[in-house]
Structures are given as structure tokens and as C-alpha cells.
Structure 1
Amino acid sequence: MRNKIDPYVSDTAQQRRLYKRTLFVVVLSQIFGGAGLAAGITVGALLARDLLGTDAYAGVPTALFTLGSAAAAFLIGMMSQRVGRRFGLATGFLTGAVGAVGVIIAATFESVTLLFLSLLVYGAGTATNLQARYAGTDLALATERATAVSIAMVSTTFGAVAGPNLVEPMGRVADGLGLPTLSGPFLLAGAAYLFAGLILLVFLNPDPLLVARAIESKRQETTDTSVHKTESTHDSRGVYVGAFVMILSQIVMVAIMTMTPVHMRHHGHELGAVGLVIGFHIGAMYLPSLVTGVLVDKVGREIMAIASGVTLFFAGVVAAFAPADSLFLLIVGLVLLGVGWNFGLISGTAILVDATTPETRAKTQGSVDVWIALSGASGGMLSGIIASQSSYLMLSLLGGIISLVLVPFVLWYRRHLSL
């Protein structure tokens, strides 16, 4: 491995070529990863409702695969820190594929226990899909990190938008195989995660994180920089702020998104309409990424983090007051929800990457993604309880109001930076 890395350490042109190649490989894997991600989001709550016979626990699937993604995020981060992005990310996607197969078996035999266990394992794919964005930043210049994140994320759009709109066709495929209709999207998820993992395992070589670490080590030797000085560039405050922006965006987005399919089905919308709304939502989560990345790099991390809070607020308001039979307004609300999450994730990621060094980056990123996943699990779990005890309107409105906390928090951090 060292022989593969050495040519890149002192050759800037080689580094730039590897950076572009890494982005291409990440993009390719994310196309498949997005399709795998979309299955659980679209029909997970509906599958649980059918097996459990109640709406009160419809948020449990989202909570479970998000909880599973929390554990996976930590393990993938640790594995990436030790042996590189290639093996860490590939292992995560392949584990997600195993979870998808488990969901299919659970649905076939109507086993709630196996369903819940499989959703935990399936969550590894979600964690990997999210952590893959970091691979694009390992060799990026400081002025293009957000853009690198956005390129990795925008590629998820192709699979993520196609996934929900393949719900009905995959349901027919499942019917033809003698499987439950709602297990169909998980057939797609299993295959998609398998391909994503294999792409990274085969083509993400040499590993970008290991190369970045070797470059940093060489730079320290050349400039006679001490270990203590390098460690001092780790900005704990920046890590906390970046994490908070991503966590709050995640919890609000997951809570409203999880209960939207259930809310729609309650009011007579067909499964195809549910897939359409979620497809627009997931598209809005990822498609704006190229523009968002440029804005974060050019306009500023903090301004775009504030924009995230404001956009999520309007998303909650629109979703709350949209007439239940208005497909258009539901789409508008869920699109705003996706865009707000996109702003928060990319600006928060950029703040986090800026605040870390190659020596600690993967471990820190994995730890932060654990909290992002846990916040999503909390949002998914609480969303069903809040909606069943009050209403979808109250859930959406509460999410929008909570989002505004980002504004004063980021303004405080921005003032700290100017001191």
C-alpha cells in the first residue's frame, strides 16, 4: 500500500488527478447508494403499520434503521481511521445489503422481531451513504471542500429519486416472486447497496484518506512542524458547531418526512402519490448540492447554516397547513424540507472538516455521524407518537419552530470567529 501512496505525496499534479478520480468513484457508488437509501424511507413506515396494526409505532422503522446507522457510523469511522475509507465504506454498504435481505425475509414470514433486527443492520447502508461524502474532501483544497461534499451528494440524487418512483414496479416484481408487495423496494435496496460496496472496494484505490495523511506527514517533516502544533489546529468549537447544525437539520427533516407517507395514506393518497412526494423530497435533499457547495465555499459556512434554519421553518409551516388532499402543497413542503436539510448538512460538514486534521478526521467524522444518526432515530421515533397524540399539523409546526434555533446559535459562532 505504501508503494501506491508514495508517488502522490510530493506530486501536486498526481494529487489533483487522484482527487478527481476519487470523486468519480464516490459519485458512482452514491448513485447506487441513493437507490438503496430510498427504499426504507418510502415504505418502512407502511410496512411496520401493516405488521403492527397501528400508526403509533409507524416511526419505529425509521428510528431503527437510523439507530443502526448510528452504530455503523461509529464503526465505519473507526475502521476508516485505521485502514482507510475504502474498506470502511465498502463494509458499510455490504452490511446494508444484508439488512435489506433480512427485511424481505421478515416481511415474507410476518416476523416483527426479524424486521426490527434487519432494519438495524439495514441502517449501515444509510450511515455509509452519508459518510461517503467525506471521502471527496480528503484531497480537496480548503476552498473547495463544500463543493467536493456537494458533488458526492448530488450524485445520490439519481438513485434516491428513482428509488421511490420504483416502489410500484418493484412491488409488482415482489408479487411475481410471491413476496409481499411492500418488500419490493428492499429487493432494489439489497442489489443497490451490493453494487455500491463493490465499486468502492475495487476502485477506491489508493485510498484518499491514507494519501491525505501521508501528504500531511510529509508537510510536517518539511516545515519541521511539531505534533503538538498540528494538534492545536483541531478546533473543538468548530466541531461542535458543525455537528449541531447537522444534528438539528437531521432531527427536523426525519420527523416530518417519516410521518408524511402515513399522513397521506390516511387521506386516501395512493402508493404512487406517496412515492412521488418522497421522490421530490429526496431529490430536494441532494439535487441542490452543486449550487449549495459553491454557495458554502463562496458566501460562507455560517450564512448557509442560517439559511438552513429559515428554510426548514418554512417547510414545517407549509407541511402543517397544506390541505391533506393537495398533492402540490405537500410536494412544496417536502421539497423545502429537503433543501433546508441540504443547506444544513453541507454547511455543517464544511465547518466540521475545516475544524479537523487528517490524523483525527475520520474518527471525529464517524463520532459526529453517530449523533446525527441518533438524532434522526429520535426524530423518527417521536414523530409517530407526536402525530398520533396530536396531529401531523402539530408535528410539522413544532419541527419548523425548533429549526429557528439555528439562527441565534450560528450568529453567536459567527461573532466568535470575527473576534
Structure 2
Amino acid sequence: MGRSLHKLTAIQAAKLKAPGRHSDGGGLYLSIDDSGRRRWVFIYTRGAKRTELGLGGGRDLSLANARVEAAAFRTMLADGLDPKVERAKDDQAQTFGAFADAYVEAMRPSWRNDKHAAQWKMTLTKYAAPIRERPVNELTTQDILDVLQPLWTRTPETAERLRGRIENVLDAAKAKGLRTGENPARWRGHLNQLLPKRQRLARGHHAALAYDLIPDFMANLRTRSAVAARALEFAILTASRSGEVLGATWNEIDLDKRVWIIPATRMKAGREHRVPLSARAMEIVEAQFDDGKGYVFAGPKPGKPLSSMAMAMLLRRMKSGITVHGFRSTFRDWASETTGFSHEVCEMALAHTIANKAEAAYRRGDLFDKRRKLMDAWTGYCGAQKGDKIVQLRRSATP
């Protein structure tokens, strides 16, 4: 079988009409006969014998779910097993855990980065532990409730993500023929009648600081000696998300041009983002410089970044009642209400996705020079002056 995987997109697969076998890679093919009938097949050679296994109809089985099944067969082959023989066994007894793991591996190449796959793996392992050893065809609504209810009010966002991931896995199991009937993890018309509706904040409503209070807050922050304090100050001055700051590495920083280039793989919108660094932001970066390798805001463990909770815990100790993400709202309010910078410049400074497709198509540049002026003005408003002492204790997260 070929080494290249995922040659087709879902749109390409849907549009294919020519009779024959159309390869997605790794032994998976969309087979179309002369009458237009479509079906997914897996073809492999074991010894001198070539075998073709039907997976399901092209209308009933999605490309994503066909890949799940093909990945499971490739794993069997790697383990020295014959997929045809194994499938002939009682696969109805396959456990939820085994099938969920195979699903994650099959979908991994389509996800943006390894962190996303790791989050799926963790939630389906840790939080779904009570059902991992259960046969996937035997799971009931009560089984799903037993997993979700302990989390539903305590950590609702985690619970909702877990529910959605379980629903996806069970949908794939049904497409493979391992389940029948309704999906017990389905929300609309099912679990929404059994679990209380999650109370959501409106988008962007993270606890934030009024912009007229930011100079005093920053003055207080600059007296603190932790790496977490420097990381938080840098996040505020660049209006960046906490994950972008904590994951920053030295090869992303151009010290000569005073720019931080965040690769697309680390951005929420999946596009490279150039961040102009003000004088104060540069001073923070330069004060962190050690050997120019690894993370800019290094944690106490060699080769590891600062903890994802470091800045949040710092704010808690400061009794601020605000969130790291909330400072992006503070910046946006300040820019809108006190400056003459355009909406486009402010939105690009926050690396926001352009909702209007026509506007997005015609916007070619990233307004970098204008954004540099905006961030310099923001730094000035925050009260930082060139030459302000960088109070810092390397590799410490305790202020």
C-alpha cells in the first residue's frame, strides 16, 4: 500500500464520479462502479495474497469514518494480524476505549496540531475511564450520564467537550457497524432533556480590567519578581493570548527587527501572526535571554515552558478578580474609545478572524506599521518607560 495518507478531501470525494478506484492512501479507496454506485474499500497484500475488504457505502460512510476503519486495519497488519480474519471475529465486543484510541489516531493528521490530538486523547482516557472497558455496542444513555454528571456543573466546558467527543466516537462506531440505534451522547432532543443547559458567557466576556485602571495595575505588576509577572506584562503589552506567550520560543523572536513571529500552528486562526514589539516588550524579552534556545518564558524544569496556570495564579494572588484573556478586552476598549486607530488595525492587533468573507478576500496586508504605532501607544498608556527596571527572578513562578 502507498505511504501517503489522506490524499482526498471530503469535497473531492463527494464530487468524484469517474468509475474506478480512487486512492486516499494507506490502502483506502473509494470504489465507483459503472452504474455510479460508491463504496469504500480497504486493499492490502499479506504474503502473496491481495485482499479487498468492503467498509461501507459511499453515502452512508463518511471519509473521516472510513479513515478510522482503515487505520484500525493498518494497525492489525503492523501487529502481524490479518484484518479479514480479525473482522470475522466478534468485533461487536470491541471496547469503547480501543475504538476511541483508533479514532483519535485516524483523525490526528486532520487536526491542526499535536496538542489538539493530545486533548482528545486525555479527555477520552481520563474522563471517560468508567466506559473505556465497556463494549462499544452496549453503551446506554445512563452510561453517558454517569460519566458527564460529575463534571457537568463543576467543569461545564470540559464536560461539554467530552460529550461531543464521545458522540463523535459513537457515530464512527455506528458507521463501522459496531452499533445500532440512536447515539446516547447526542445533545439535541436527547441529553438536553436530561442535563441542565450550560450557562455560557457571551463571547469575549472574560473578567477584564477597566482601561483607566491599567496604569496602576501595571505599576504594581512591574514590582513583582517572578517570570510569571514578566510573562503577564509581555502578554498585556502585546495583547496576546496566554498560550501564545507561554509557548513563545527564541526562534520566533527577531531581536533586530523587534518582531515576534508566531507560526500558524500556534495561532487560533491557523495563520502566521507578526507582533510588533514595543521598547518595553523588547526589554522584557532581552532580560529573559539566556542561551537563546528553548522557551522565552522558561519554567523551573529545564526545557519546559512556564506552567499554563502561572499567570492565572499570579492574578489570583494579586486579588485582581480578572483573567489573563480579559486584558485583550481592556486593550480593545482602550483602542476603540481613546485612539483614532481604525477598526481593522485594532482587530489585526488581536489576530481576530475576519468574519466578512468579502472583506477578508480584499485585505492583503497585515497593517504591520500601523499596528506598531498602536502597540507603542498602548505601551505608553500602560505607563512603561524605556529604561524601567526589569524586576525578575529567573525560572521562578512565585512573586
Q: TM-score range by the shorter chain?
A: under 0.3
Bigger RCO of structures 1 and 2 (CA < 8 A, at least 6 apart): 1
**Larger radius of gyration, structure 1 or 2?**
2
Report the TM-score when normalising by structure 1. 0.23
Query: Which structure dedicates a bigger proportion of its chain to helix?
Result: 1
More strand by share: 2
